Chain A
Amino acid sequence: MKIISQTNRTLLLEEFNPEKLDLLTMIGDVRGIDSLSDDKIKEINEALLCRSYEEFQEKFAPCIYSFYDANTQTVRYTLKKPESIPENMLTVIPLNQQNDFLKMLFSLMESKKSQGVLNVDFGFEHLLDMISPKKVMEDIRQVRKEIRYNYSKYAALEEGDPARLDVGDKLNVLFESASDNYNNVLAMLPLAIEDIKTRLLLGAGDQGINPNQIALGMLTMGDNGELKVLEAPKQETTALATIDDHINTGLIETLEEDYQQVNECPTDYVKDLVVRTFCPLPSTIQTQIDVEREVANYNSYLQFYKEAKDGFIKVVKPLVEKMLGVKMFFDQYKCRVKGMVPTLLVANIRPEMLAKSTNLPTLHAYLNSTNGKNNFSDTVWYAIFPNVSINPKEGAKLRRERFAGNIHKQNEDVNSMETLATLLDVLKDYKVETFFSFEGRDDTTFDNVAAEGVQKYIDRCEPLVNRPYSEYAIPCIPNFTVIPKNKSGVTLDKLMTINDDNVAQLSDAKEDIMRLWIEGVYIGASYVAAGFRAACQCPDYLHDHYRRKKYDTELPGVRYDVESGDHALWTRTTMPKEITGFTNTIKDQINRRNFGWVFASENAALDGKNITEITIYKARNLLYDPERATYEPAYKTQVTTYIERILRHATGDFKEDRIKMFFSNNPTSQKSQWVAKQDCINAVLDEGDDLGYSIDETTGLCDLTIYYDGNARNLEVEINRLSSKKS
């Protein structure tokens, strides 16, 4: 029987959506109780446990709230639902795959991964303009084509035909995603901007022709055989195309109807906009254009859009960074046959809230229920604690600000070291290894480590060394860069002017170029480190990466040491390389004491193929061994925990006679079974490892010694004498 079926459940100590349930609320009052009921644990799992990014997205539906401020004529954003503002004045903007900012970040990461180029060579600007109205419209054109294609099929099929129902389902999905934006004027802005551009600047673009020079015509041959373009009869609209058939009419009606039903306060302008956006303009719609008004509208829309986007990005960035972290956690598990899938329990609460004295007994009760039993299906093995504050360099000389410079202000939305220490003190009681990383900013990235080294991280972690919980604290560095700060400019569009011929045209003046700055997007290293370690627990994952090596289908990869041999090259993160590498001096600094869980962006080749992903350079926790002047490898802690848990289970809570059986040379004993599998890639006892024990009859303590390649690690358990034969 497989006693422990999972060794990779991870607790994420972060808040995503305060409106959704969180761990504390779900656990409730724990006065007078030590642990929770099975029903409660099941309920928590249903609400907070995620097996994939999609499930996370669905369960927590991260969103941002916007409302309009009439005084400043601006749009305001907030991550927390403002309580004083009535519901109908608030707009909820869901941060899902349809959100252009998130979509842009996902594509950027995918594209960087597939190109395998370093940050310095990657063209960020090409992807950053995905949030410009032009690109938003391009996407909508794609949706528009699909809607039209499906609608034409739907209309062609007979009523009652089962195929028509299938198409109907597809149309419903497409309309649903289109209608998401009806209510959101801001989401409609890029559509309006592009719509005005399309109508006013008809024909401009590819050949740079001035729109006032166009008179639509037809190519004909003259009486004497000469070629002529005759001016076509003028129509009263500047429509995109003139597809005038019953399909269009039907589609227009459906869209209008849909808009009217979905929207609480429909306006004709937006209705026309929706119709024009999702359906090519037919000749049946007659519109007069007031150029001056449209240009003014266009400029104000663009201006407003820029300010809104700017505000939106500033507010949403921390949340999006966390979401990208979750995605990267799950992304690390790339495996053909899914076995022990990493699972993420999202606490959905701010860590400082969890670390309050009032709430710690609650956390204790939960972890006692999951980790304090001989049932290991819900055991939490890891925790992620991202965004730990790292003080900006102090001691900078006060100087007169002659030019606008960076404002070195303390990030307020970060987690403190004290909170981390408090939570570690609780988590260590339940043997939960905590991956923590520092706040995402340009001085915690690969670039910065390559330039400045790791000393500041060593100094920052100093208070966590030589503590009972040091063994369970894993500092992860450096953070990953999605968009570097110096390449984060986005050009949205240009303002429009009216020329002397009363024709609208885009302005080329520098001040009329609408540009915004994202100021860098980063992913906490702890998400990737935990995701990677969780993936390595799965026997199938290891088998996938080591096809030629023996593996055992049941044993978890607790003993898998990524630092050993060329393991770091066989199992890599899915993150693309960022820099050319660390200098030898920096690597010497890391190697001197083997500090931290360090990622490396190094040049390496395996089996003749260049490695384009980021690899793991060090995998250590903060347990310092003064004898060998080194930090201990992280895997040792988990193997020790694993062996202790198996031992407790197999010996009926440490009965003396069964402990002896456990370690005996009998081929059926647990130790013999582990030794027999020493050549597997996921062996619990690797070659060179050993397991010994001694029982102190006077104190009733059993001293286990686990030798990892000759280095001993001790574990003391109290023998259960009440039922042992010797009692």
Chain B
Amino acid sequence: MKRKHLRLCLISLICFLLVPRVQAQAFAANLPPGTSKAIVFLLDASNSMNSNDREGLAKDSIAQLIYSLPSNYYVGFAAYNNSVVSSIGMQNSHDRELVMEAVDSVTYTGYTNAGAGLTTAMELLDTVDATEKTVVILSDGEIIMSSDKATAESSGLFQAAVETAQAQGVRIHVIGLGADMEDDDNTIFSAATQTNGINYHAPQSTDIQSVIDSILMEQLGVKKTRAAIVDTDGGTEDITVNIPSVNTSRTRILLTSGNPIQNLKADFSAVNGWQYSGTRYTLLELDHPMDTTVHITFQGQAGGQVKVDVISEYVLTTQLDVSYTDPEPGLPEAEYCERVADVAATFFDAGDSDRQMLADTVFQGLLVQVTADGDTIPCYLKDGAIIFQRTVEDDTKAAVQFDFTKLDTNLILEQPVFVELEGPPAPPKPRQEDYRPQIIVGSLILLAFIAILIIRLVSGRKKAKAIVPAAVAGSKSETQVEETSRYGYVGRLNIYITNTLSGHDFPPLTYNLFRIPGGKKLSLQEILDSCEVDEPFEGADKISFQPAAGHCLLLTNESDCTLMQNREILMKGRSYQISLNSKVDITFEDERSEIALQYRDVKPSDMRLLAGERH
């Protein structure tokens, strides 16, 4: 095991050379409480492993697992043959190297006492307080000891340990190596079945690497992105790895290969950096990187392949700010206002409370499911903040949980967070006064209003008859205009400018609505402006959109433009619900310019692709 440590201040350029040098890591993770997890790797070190893992690839794969884990993992290790031959207690992220030293010291010899091994693993896990505990066993065969009695004893111990794990909610994943583990029906594999874990089979030791990858990503939920796959030709390879953001708390770049990786050098800028190397892997760990690109050169073996993964990590604290709006209650006898709380969640670096995180453009518009007191609300990240609304009826303390699974990065933060919501105030009491003058004036105004209404209704009908011969009866979609909406935008608008005053041709335009946060009202003119259309469209500023229920779009027409949908004219002064995949044709007030708007859905998988585009 070779290791190197470098400490950097601000922007600096560093070259790594493979020099065996050991220094203490000076990293102090400010982990929020309640975010710790624990994992113990249990390795079968029996004699048979000599034939199944001749090249000692299992150890490299353990290193790959250990170093890929985010900082909130405690890692332990135990190896067994006749008895437990090597074990090391739970180490925090600073001291993972000690674990690897224990792993490296293991030699394959003797029988297979998995019972003793698993019992030790469970004891190790007992020493730490963690929200999630896992054991990963790598074994190439059944429990076998020198005598039947000893075998039975070990099996008994194994079963007892499995039951303890089951009771404590510890999940056991088993990697079966070699031909003897092809059959699922053996004692070791039964541990996974009983504890809700997963059984994996690696026919050869070279397959362990991909199994470890699956455990990391599918079982432990570690987010990795594959930055590159390099076909090596024996010469020096030169690659540039992009880190998603300069704001990460920690970024690990892991290079793995089936063949040795040599002479690795890296140029980067970060507060601190470390390098850990095995025969077939190299890990580059960057503390608070300051540049999004890392240049790496290394030498691989001819005909080999090197996979480069990036594991980035954010250690966060959550800040919740609440503001209230208290509209007057609808019923006069109501005792309290109908209070709506706008909760804004912002995230800061756990080590630096002034440094706001998740505000980079890569996170802009990404979906985060927020669960507040059991209600799930789909929200989108905007400028690093998540804003959602709660109706408050009483003083309450709400538990808020964020689901960041849609983000391709590892977030360590305390969950749930609690927010104190104050109950609504009482509405202002009306004074007991003589209301007669007001009643008279009010009645007069009401009479005048009714008269105006009747006149408008009559003239409006005439107009409607003239221009809407086939209007759909009872336009159920008509609603009153709202200034703000509690729904979020989804989908996108395809804009086809079919006719213009100038006669210019415009290419088809797309406006990604799903990137617009909250229920902000948007006018068509704003949309066209952001699409950089420098053509006058009279009345476009009086046509507006807002999100509505059921993924619909609420279109409000205050203009004299002619709007048509499904052969129906959309009247002035009214709002209409536009459902997904439908189309609205607009002829503007100049009676020449025309636009066709198409409101379409965007698949979650496409959001990332579209998010990178300009409007």
Contact = CB atoms under 8 A, between A and B. Distances in A.
Interface of A: 31-34, 355-358, 360-361, 364, 368, 372, 418, 422, 425, 429, 466-468, 592, 626-627, 629, 698-699, 714, 716
Contacts, number: 69
B598 interface: yes
Given A32-B564, A33-B566, A716-B604, A358 B598 contact: no
Contacts of B600: 429
Contacts of A699: 369, 376, 378
A31 B596 CA distance: 8
Contacts of B451: none
24 contacts: A31-B564, A31-B596, A32-B564, A32-B565, A32-B585, A34-B566, A355-B508, A357-B508, A358-B497, A358-B498, A358-B505, A360-B496, A360-B508, A361-B585, A368-B581, A468-B602, A468-B603, A468-B606, A468-B609, A468-B610, A698-B376, A699-B378, A714-B605, A716-B605
Nearest to B507: A357
Contact of A627 (B226, B376, B506): B226
B86 to A, nearest CB: 35
A357 B505 contact: yes
Interface in B591-615: 594, 596, 598, 600, 602-606, 609-610
Given A32-B567, A361-B596, A716-B604, A629 B496 contact: no
Most chain B CB within a 10 A radius of its CB, from A34, A355, A592: A34
Question: Taking chain B's interface residues, is the majority helix, strand, or loop, or is none over half, making it mixed?
Answer: strand
Interface of B: 226, 229, 231, 369, 376, 378, 496-499, 505-508, 510, 564-568, 581-583, 585, 587, 594, 596, 598, 600, 602-606, 609-610
Contact of B498 (A33, A357, A372, A592): A357
Contacts of B598: 361, 364
A600 B353 CA distance: 62
A629 B229 contact: yes
A428 to B, nearest CB: 10
A361 B583 contact: yes
Smallest CB-CB A-B distances: 8 pairs:
A32-B564, A361-B596, A468-B606, A698-B376, A31-B585, A358-B498, A357-B496, A629-B229
A36 to B, nearest CB: 13
Nearest to B563: A32
Given A32-B565, A355-B508, A361-B498, 15 more contacts: A31-B596, A32-B568, A357-B506, A358-B497, A364-B583, A422-B507, A425-B510, A429-B600, A466-B609, A468-B603, A468-B606, A629-B229, A698-B376, A699-B369, A699-B378
A425 B508 contact: yes
Contacts of B510: 425
Contacts of A355: 508
A34 B606 CA distance: 24
B614 to A, nearest CB: 14
Nearest to A703: B604
A356 B609 CA distance: 24
Nearest to A627: B226
B499 A358 contact: yes
A34 B229 contact: no
Contacts of B594: 31
Contacts of B565: 32
Contacts of B602: 468
Contacts of B506: 357
B584 to A, nearest CB: 9
Contacts of B378: 699
Contacts of A358: 496-499, 505
A698 B367 CA distance: 14
Contacts of A466: 609
A714 to B, nearest CB: 7
Contacts of A418: 507
Contacts of A356: 505
Nearest to A355: B508
Contact of B583 (A34, A357, A425): A34
A714 B605 CA distance: 9
A356 B567 CA distance: 23
